[in-house]
A and B are shown apart, each in its own frame.
Chain A
Amino acid sequence: MSFDLFKAEGEIIDNAKAVLDDGKATKTTIRNEFQSLLKSYQKLFKESRRLVRMSDRNEAQLSQVAKNLDEKSKVLEALSEKLSKYLSPQVYELIFSGERDGGLMTERKKLTVFFSDIKDFTATTEDLQPEDLTFLINDYLTKMSEVALKHGGTIDKYIGDAVVIFFGDPVSRGIQDDALACVRMAIEMQRRMVDLRAKWLDLGYERPFHMRIGINTGYCNVGNFGSADRMDYTIIGGEVNLAARLEGICVTDGITMSNETYMQVRDHVPADPLEPIQVKGIARDVRPFSVRGILEETGTKKRFIRKEAEGMRYFFDLERMDPKRRKRAAKELEKIVTTLRSDD
């Protein structure tokens, strides 16, 4: 193929060289060649200017397109950030990374299901103003969700004051580790509730929340349920109902788990057996276990120190006190101790 984008320019240069190399070229020949060279140069100059202009125009257009894309991308990013709040982070991650399709698809998997609610929620909150109730429930759900995410739980849904969380989908660390993560999460939640109650009492809420928890391990259907237009990533099955039922028989501030969960965690979590129960939809007798020593000291530092008695009331938020503030508080307490002792 002899097509060359710059064929004409090449020929002009070759001609000019030939004339220069020709020792016998006459003045007329040189003049004619020079004129031809000038004409070609003028043409080339025009073309160069045109190409530069065109290149600038294309660059400006591309820059505008890139800017528009950037703006659209920012809008989409902000939108997906807002939408992400309605999804469990693990599910959001799978959908946005393209690993999971958004279609109606479910599968049967062995999961550990967590179910919790607030004891006597209606009675506890009936005297509260809506604003106070909103603050309390949001504070409670925020802290519990933090703990759930820390342990890798998939937050299925909030149903009023109840929380449903499961382990084993979309990410599983194995049935045993999933069960252990769930129970450890539940223990941390109950411990965190102690601090939360201290805070709420200090804020003036007389009847702070107490939580009950039920945990079960078993085969569930997990995936997208609903219609093609509106679907929920959730779990269904008798084993889910059992978790709710176990929560129903749980003592205040306790954690009740099924035998199936206990079998997975018994080497790590002490528990006491309870009387077997019968659950609608489950043929076998269910043997529950109550987790022991949930609120025992674990060596982990507490955030709040609070005490209230007749004529005495104190509250410390250790996270908000740097070493300087703690030292000052200690001095104040020493003064108080001296005053109290001087009255003996």
Chain B
Amino acid sequence: MDNIKIEGTDRSPEIDFEFSNNKFSIRGESYPEDVTAFYGQIIENLETHLSDMDGGNVEFNFELIYFNSSTAKVLMGLFDTLEETAEEGVSVTVNWYYDEEDDTMEELGEEFAEDLEAATFNMKTLET
């Protein structure tokens, strides 16, 4: 699978999916005009890649400042996929980066963490 690198914009986050190293990250703000158009292909590629894995390690980094409800739905689906991957025996680590003054992102991270049991979820404050 080819790596995916998409520059961030005012409305969409930076996407950096290194399939070769199993290292993935989403950074920035996310309220694209068409969530399906923005996330559709990359999520499909990710799901295909993860379902093909047989053991190994996956690291997923989130560094989000703001996201809308549609993006939240995408993220919840993504966490389901990561949890299922972990249940299949892959070691999955999710790092949720947030600004220590951003209570909203901290609370959202804590809520997402509740859904993950097989995958490891780490809350990390951003170094300023």
> Which A residues have a C-beta under 8 Å from some C-beta of B?
1-6, 8, 47, 50-51, 53-55, 57-58, 61
Contacts and interface: CB of A to CB of B under 8 A. Distances in A.
Given A8-B77, A54-B72, A58-B104, 20 more contacts: A1-B41, A2-B44, A3-B36, A3-B39, A3-B40, A3-B44, A5-B70, A5-B73, A5-B74, A6-B73, A47-B76, A50-B72, A50-B76, A50-B111, A51-B72, A51-B73, A53-B111, A57-B104, A57-B107, A58-B66
Nearest to A60: B104
Interface of B: 35-36, 39-41, 43-44, 66, 68-70, 72-74, 76-77, 80, 104, 107-108, 111
B69 A5 contact: no
A3 B43 contact: yes
Main secondary structure of the interface of A (DSSP, over half): helix
Given A2-B44, A3-B44, A5-B35, A54 B77 contact: no
Nearest to B42: A3
Contacts of B73: 5-6, 47, 51
30 contacts: A1-B40, A1-B41, A2-B44, A3-B36, A3-B41, A3-B43, A4-B36, A5-B36, A5-B73, A5-B74, A6-B73, A8-B77, A8-B80, A47-B73, A47-B76, A50-B72, A50-B76, A50-B111, A51-B69, A51-B73, A53-B111, A54-B69, A54-B72, A54-B108, A55-B69, A57-B104, A58-B66, A58-B68, A58-B69, A58-B104
A50 B113 CA distance: 12
Contacts of A57: 104, 107
A315 B14 CA distance: 79
Contacts of A4: 36
Contacts of A54: 69, 72, 108
A274 B44 CA distance: 93
Contacts of A58: 66, 68-69, 104
A64 to B, nearest CB: 11
Nearest to B112: A50
B114 to A, nearest CB: 9
A3 B42 CA distance: 10
A59 B79 CA distance: 24
Contacts of A8: 77, 80
B36 A1 contact: yes
A35 B40 CA distance: 30
Contacts of B43: 3
A54 B76 CA distance: 13
A25 to B, nearest CB: 27
A105 B22 CA distance: 59
A5 B40 CA distance: 9
Contacts of A1: 36, 40-41, 44
Contacts of B35: 5
A162 B70 CA distance: 66
A2 B41 CA distance: 9
B104 A61 contact: yes
Contacts of A53: 111
A53 B76 CA distance: 14
A183 to B, nearest CB: 56
The CB with the most chain A CB atoms within 10 A, among B44, B72, B74, is that of: B72
A54 B73 CA distance: 11
B59 to A, nearest CB: 23
B77 A5 contact: yes
Nearest to B111: A50
Contacts of A5: 35-36, 70, 73-74, 77
The CB with the most chain B CB atoms within 10 A, among A1, A3, A4, A50, is that of: A3
Nearest to A5: B73
Contacts of A47: 73, 76
Contacts of B36: 1, 3-5
A2 B36 CA distance: 10
Contacts of A2: 44
Contacts of A51: 69, 72-73
Contacts of B74: 5
